[in-house]
Structure formats: C-alpha cells, structure tokens
Amino acid sequence: MEKTLVVMAAGMGSRFGGLKQIEPVGPNGEFIIDYSVYDAKRAGFSKVVFVIKKELLDVFKETIGKRLEDKIEVAYAFQDINDIPSKKYLAQKREKPWGTVQAVLSAKEYVKGDFAVINADDFYGYDTYRKASRFLDSSTLENVYASITFPYIKTASLYGSVKRAVCFLEDDNITRLVESKITTKDGYALAEPLNGDEAFKIDLDQEVSMNIFAFKNSFFGFLEEYFNDFFKQDDEVILKSEALLPLVVEQKIQEGKIVLKNIKTDSSWFGITYKEDLEGLKKAINELVSKGEYPSKLWE
C-alpha cells in the first residue's frame, strides 16, 4: 500500500509577513517544501498531497509542482472555508479556514493508504521521515498512530514565543498533548495552554509535537467525527475557534480510542515563525549542503 505525505500549505504566514511556503531557503532557490518532499521520497513515500487554497493553485504549480511532478506523484487538495458539515452560514462570517483538522480532511480523497502529515513551513530532516515511514511499515495494529517529536529547545525561536503541543509520556506512549504558546525563559520554558488552562513550566528538552504525525487511513474517521462535533458548538465559540489536529488526537487519546506512540528523531528542526528566522534557516541548510547531507541542486 502506498504511503502518502500530506503537506498542510493553506496558511498565510501572518507573523512572517507573507507566503512563507514559497520563500527560497536553499542555495539554488529551493523551498522548505522541496526538502520535505525530497526527504520523504527517499524514506519511502510515493505520493505527496499539497493542501492549499484554490486561488494558490497556479502559484504552487509554477513554483513547486513543475519541479516535483516527474519525481513523485503529486496531487492538490483545496481547503475551502465553505466546506463544512453544517451551519454553512458561518462561512460568511469567517476570514480564514477552520484549522488543521479541515486541512487534513481536505486530502482524504487523494489518500488511499497510510499517510504522514506535516506543516509546509517546517524543515524536519531526513531521520524524521525515515522513522515515520518505518513506523507505518511495521505497525499492524489499527488505531495506533505516532508523533515524531523534538525537544522543545530545538524548535524555539530566538525572536518570540511559539505554538507547540507539549507531550506528556508514559513509556513510549504519549498520554497527553497540550497545545500551548511557549516562551523560553532562563533555564526553562513557560507553556501557556491555548485552552486557557493555567500556565506551567517545562524543561528545555521537553518533547513537543511539531505537527508531524504518522497515521493509518482509519484516522480519517476520527477527524470526521471531531469536525462534525466542532460545528455542534455555539456559533460564537465556533467563530473564534479552530479545529486543530493536536486537539483531536488528544481527545481520542483521553477517550481511549487511539494509542499515540512517541518517536524521537535525531534530526534538527528548522522553521520560519518570524521573518527574522529566515536567515538562520538559510545558514543551517547551507551547512547541511556543505556536509553532503543534501546536494547543492536538490532535484538534479
């Protein structure tokens, strides 16, 4: 059964100040997405689905798609603000899509087997994809999924707070995922849960989820259930909320419906949260190229 990489690329980078998915970061104009697909392909993924806004299709095809389509099977799924299960009138009062749950659901018709989900603007490294691929190849139990996690300090920005899902572990299982705004302090970090719960301290090496998950195809059923329930809330709550992937994973863990394995990666994580992060990312990729971990011209 084919393994598919689902790339969530519909968001505009508000804090970054532009469409950071197509910001060149490599020595020959490569984007973060290029490195993600390159690593996923050599780890055993045979298809990529880009979840984008429909109005960005031409931009994606001209920049990313045209240099990938002869290397790996490519599909495009559209995250549409109007594509909701009920209360469709709320779409007229909303300016942005409904969150990462909707993003992944948008890709359902293009995913025939097991799959991994990633953010378009995160550089995860080859070891991350290798471990996700190995998990999907070796795990035979239904409703057992995995999160490939990083120590928080590897994912912190020098320029401000970041949003991460803090992982609480029991052996190699994740028992809680707490989506939080995290700020680095002197020797520790402060996590402020996005649901309004009390802030708590975490060690700098606390494992966090960076929205790279390895899922069986069965996970789409849980996403549909959660998204339907999301729209059963009061209108005011719906309009100020997002249906986020870590929240549905956390809910199903607590309900005992899924098991989420914690798989630590040896890769370094790089990303662009703020515009100031860009130069550091370019430098890091150039160092990886100079070490021979990536070719200078990625797709030649």
Listed by start position, the domains of the chain span: 3-290
- Rounded Cα distance between 123 and 269, Å, is 6
What is the pairing mode between strands 73-78 and 207-215? unpaired
pLDDT at 13: 43
* Weakest-pLDDT range from 60-74, 83-97, 169-183, 237-251: 60-74
Residue by residue, what is the 3-state secondary structure of the chain? Answer: CCEEEEEECCCCECCCCECHHHCCCCCCCCCHHHHHHHHHHHHCCCEEEEEECHHHHHHHHHHHHHHHCCCCEEEEEECCCCCCCCCHHHHHHCCCCCCHHHHHHHCHHHCCCEEEEEECCEECCHHHHHHHHHHHHHCCCCCEEEEEEEEHHHHCECCECEEEEEEEEECCEEEEEEEEEEEECCCCEEEEECCCCCCEEECCCCEEEEEEEEECCCHHHHHHHHHHHHCCCCHHHHHCCCCCHHHHHHHHHHCCCCEEEEEECCCCCEECCCCCHHHHHHHHHHHHHHCCCCCCCCCC
At residue 15 the predicted structure's pLDDT band, cuts being 50, 70 and 90, is very low
Superfamily of chain region 3-290: Spore Coat Polysaccharide Biosynthesis Protein SpsA; Chain A (3.90.550.10)
- Phi/psi zone of residue 148: left (φ > 0), alpha (ψ -120 to 50 degrees), beta? beta
pLDDT at 10: 80
At residue 12 the predicted structure's pLDDT band, cuts being 50, 70 and 90, is very low
Which one is predicted more confidently, 19 or 141? 141
pLDDT at 137: 96
pLDDT at 142: 87
- Name residue 97's amino acid: P
Percent of the chain with pLDDT over 90: 77
Average pLDDT, the chain: 92
At residue 275 the predicted structure's pLDDT band, cuts being 50, 70 and 90, is confident
Residue pair 33/6 in contact by the 8 Å Cβ criterion = no
Task: Copy the structure tokens of residue 88.
Answer: 């469709």
pLDDT at 21: 55
pLDDT at 22: 63
**Taking the CB of residue 1, how many other CB atoms lie within 10 A of it?**
10
pTM: 0.93
- Rounded Cα distance between 88 and 81, Å, is 9
